[in-house]
Amino acid sequence: MNDTTKAKNRAAKRLNNRHRAEWRFRFIGFAAVSIGLICLASIFVIIIVTGLDAFRQTKIALEIDLPIETFHHEKRGDTRSPGKVNYQAIVKQALRNTFPDIQSRRDKRALYRLVSSGAAFELRGHVERIPALIGKRITLWVTASDDVDMVIKGKVPRTAPESHRRLSDDQMGWLAILEDAGRVEARFNDVFFTGGDSREAELAGIAGAALGSLYTIFVCLALAFPLGVMTAVYLEEFAPKNFWTTLIEVNINNLAAVPSIVFGLLGLAVFLNIFQLPRSSPLVGGMVLALMTLPTVIIAGRAAIKAAPPSIREAALALGASPLQAVFHHVLPLAMPGIITGGIIGTSRALGETAPLLMIGMVAFVVDLPSSVLDAATALPVQIFLWADMPERAFGERTAAAILVLLTFTCLMNLTATILRKKYEIRW
């Protein structure tokens, strides 16, 4: 074998080694991406399967008597105010009428636990909407307790021993009688979308948290977007290139990497302790998130302004426009799609933040729906955090459902950013 043949063999061997190394690299990369996608898909499947049950709630039909003497004073004859009518007693009487054989106080208390404590409020709201029902017998579907709900949805096996269930054998028997009579159904859980937080899982909703997030994001956008755009315009177009502007740019880049809880500590120290702004309010939450979002908006705005062709600016200046007119009439409109995209992405990140909101008190238990940015409120990520810590099993599915709602909002915001970029983007 001559030297030429040996050289060819060595070259072929090296080439084969490079091909095998390239194949291994591609295989490892493909395997890593596949494993990541499988893990992500598994998480989504678990969340979806767990959370979908929260959109259904078990209802129980009760035959309720509304005697007119309960709603009127016997002596005066005037209608009682709704707060003076004991609706809870009316619901309990309907349950006793359904099971007249139950006599002991212990069994009656167990029977009352089949329905939610909010059944009285549901009856009150129904009567206030339709006052003509007073004096009649009505059939009303009231919310079942979370223990009943878990059994109906199959989360708690019916065949499990009594020690492994929160419902006793007697309660299971009464529930079976109601089911055989067609008085138990799983219906759409509108309370989940219209109600506030509650210690009772069957009454807990995300409306208060969603409104709190909406107000917080509104304040965040109102502060971060105009300030961020103006800062980006000044630093990119008008600021002199010296030590101070370089220092500002370095600090802006560093702030983009600061952990979010640091901004929460800043808001606690400045907005609450120094300026004495309302604790747990969306106003303070939005201001804290605005501080966190500002670096993202500034960096995205500078990149979008820098991407505008210099010829646009030069042509405007050559035609007699001032530097301010050249920027605001020509450069900024061209850069606006990129700026809007950066603002939406920064806001979507702020929508999912929890740590800074915990530091300013938005972790408080808030039942009433906030009506302004000054009312005490919580946010959707914080509500998820609170529910995840609850011991009842029914809160587990509501936690997953709230995660689905939050992911939907985040995906919609990112999709909006993508659509705006594609719609208004100008390629040069």
Q: Are 116 and 202 in contact (CB under 8 A)?
A: yes
The owner of tokens 């105010």 is 81
Cα dihedral 216, 364, 142, 78 sign: negative
Task: Collect all residues with Cβ–Cβ distance below 8 Å to 375 and sequence separation of at least 6.
Answer: 281, 282, 368
pLDDT of residue 77: 44
pLDDT of residue 425: 67
Q: What is the pLDDT of residues 67-99, one digit of tens each?
A: 887 776 433 444 444 447 889 999 999 999 999
CA distance 326 to 104: 86
pLDDT lower than 50: segments of the chain: 73-83
Q: Which residues of 21-56 are buried (b: 16+ CB within 10 A; e: fewer)?
A: eeeeeeeeeeeeeeeeeeeeeeeeeebeebbebbeb
Q: List beta partners, residue 72.
A: 79
Rounded to two decimals, the pTM is: 0.83
Name the residue type at position 259. P
pLDDT of residue 308: 84
For the chain, list the domains and their CATH numbers: 56-199 (no CATH), 207-424 (1.10.3720.10)
CA distance 307 to 297: 15
Positions of E strands within 43-172: 56-65, 137-143
What distance separates the 2 farthest-apart alpha carbons in the chain? Answer: 125
Full strand arrangement of the beta sheet holding 137-143: 137-143, 56-65, 184-188
Average pLDDT of the chain to the nearest whole number: 86
Q: List beta partners, residue 64.
A: 138
